[in-house]
Amino acid sequence: MISVTDLRPGTKVEMDGALWECVDYQHQKIGRGGAKVVAKFKNLETGATVERTFNSGEKLKDIFVEAREMQYLYPEGDDLVLMDLETYEQYHVPKAAAGEAGKFLKEGITLIADVYDGRVIKVTPPTVVELEVTEAPPGIKGDTASGGSKPATLETGAVVNVPLFIEAGEVIKIDTRTGEYAGRA
């Protein structure tokens, strides 16, 4: 058990039968009354966020989430198939576990998976991935006053804005946190 006064961003707890990660935390002392803790939590499985207020003496059940290095093998329906690089065990994980960054996953890429009680609850891809541009309309000279951009389709099917000089067949870097062009590979 963990006291609510020990909550910090990144702390993982079990609350109301679900797994939550503390995103924001505030300790409030109001006048003569007792102290209160206001915390914002993100559900590790659904991604929903909720804000809760606790009295300073309350306790929550803390959980241990293990971060393991895994390899993305292939998509299967609405799941991603991952392989643990230590045990070679395969996991079927819902695509929602990867969030928005899931559209930048390329087969064979190594990523970090959060495992709790023998199941993968969250997938974190590398910060920057290198992907090939499969489709990019030609850039038209004189179209912009200062550096423009155009939509380009990547090998994973994701569409991102790239500078006008990028052409089909080039390999570019994408920041998976923002989904933006980060440079040429």
Prediction pTM value? 0.72
Phi, then psi, of 63 in degrees rounded to 5:
-125, 155
Give the tokens for residue 151. 């939509």
Cα 94 from Cα 23, distance rounded (Å):
22
Q: pLDDT-derived band of residue 143, with 50, 70 and 90 as boundaries?
A: low
Average pLDDT over residues 2-29: 88
CA-nearest of 123, 6, 122, 119 to 61 is 6
Average pLDDT, the chain: 86
Instruction: Map out the domains of the chain with their CATH numbers.
Output: 2-62 (2.30.30.30), 69-124 (2.40.50.140), 128-184 (2.40.50.140)
| Contact partners, residue 146, CB within 8 Å, separation at least 6 | none
16 has pLDDT over 80? yes
According to the model, what pLDDT value does residue 165 have? 84
**Which DSSP letter does residue 137 get?**
P
Listing DSSP states for 51-86 in one string gives EEEEETT-EEEE---EEEEEEEEEEETTEEEEEETT
145 secondary structure, DSSP code? S
| CA–CA dist 148, 155 (Å, integer) | 22
* Residue 123 pLDDT level (bands cut at 50, 70, 90): confident
